[in-house]
Amino acid sequence: MTHLRKKTTHEQRGSMPFLFVGEALALDLTNTDILLRGKKKDLLATVQDTERWWREAGIHHPGRNNVTGEAEITQWNEVLLTHLKHLRGALRGLFTAMIERRPAESSDLEELNRVLSMGYQSLAPGAEGKLTATYRTTEPAYGAVLLPIALSALPILTQGESARLHRCANERCTGLFYDTTRSATRQWCSTVCMNRARSLHHYRQAKARKARPAALPHRAS
């Protein structure tokens, strides 16, 4: 299970670490809304949390910056935070529908399409005179953040194998991930969840054994 790895940085003392285990930027955004001791916790509670998450996401998803704008000045404010949360909710709905093999909700599609409409594809000069495809955003204040996330969801939703998109097998986790292993046998979002799920399984087995009534002694006839 070497594929299961915990990719986190913990830049601020006392802050919750972010997990980048979804194998796609869009999935890692959905995984900022978690269960902690059975209660929902939003890791993007403040604008500062959001800026820190985006900075860390750049380490794990360096290709996210293939989006340019006329005047890229990302405005880290409550408006961007609200947009991110709306996009996160729509993505979780779309990914969950794919996992459960049911039609997607139209409201989730509309939200994703709204973000996708913030950009358009164009050509830019590359190395050795080659042309490369890039995206330009028409919304410089927020598009450089929202558009790369939305674009990263497209290959999974349109070309991905539904059997490789999973919800973490730990019943106390809401994490989503795309299984890129050759064997396609990954079950947990991280080794932490794998160990917790196995510990819970062993605990329940031990408790069940203790609850079994003792066998009655055999009486000789």
Q: In this predicted model, what pLDDT tens digit does every residue of 19-30 receive, in sequence order?
A: 899 999 999 999
Copy the structure tokens of residue 125. 């000069």
Residue percentage of the chain with pLDDT more than 90: 49
* Cα 99 from Cα 41, distance rounded (Å): 23
Domain that holds residue 109: 25-165
* Cα 152 from Cα 154, distance rounded (Å): 6
**Average pLDDT for residues 102-111, to the nearest whole number?**
97
**Average pLDDT for residues 165-181, to the nearest whole number?**
90
Instruction: Quick: pLDDT tens for 141-162.
Output: 899 999 999 999 999 999 989 9
**Average pLDDT for residues 134-140, to the nearest whole number?**
88
**How far, in whole angstroms, is CA 172 from its chain's centroid?**
16
pLDDT of residue 7: 46
* Cα 73 from Cα 142, distance rounded (Å): 8
Q: Is the pLDDT of residue 215 over 80?
A: no
Residue 74 in any domain: the answer is yes
Q: Which of 7-16, 19-28, 205-214 has the lowest mean pLDDT?
A: 7-16
Instruction: Quick: pLDDT tens for 56-67.
Output: 999 999 877 667
Residue 119 in any domain: the answer is yes
**CB-side exposure of 215: number of CA atoms within 13 Å?**
4
Q: Is the pLDDT of residue 13 over 60?
A: no
Residue 178 in any domain: the answer is no
Whether the predicted model's global pTM rises above the 0.85 cut: no
pLDDT of residue 35: 82
Residue 201 in any domain: the answer is no
Q: Which residues pair with 94 in a beta bridge?
A: none
Residue 187 in any domain: the answer is no
* More confident call, 6 vs 93: 93
Q: Is 113 helix (H, G, I), strand (E, B) or coil?
A: helix
Residue 34 in any domain: the answer is yes
Residue 71 in any domain: the answer is yes
Residue 54 in any domain: the answer is yes
Domain count, the chain: 1
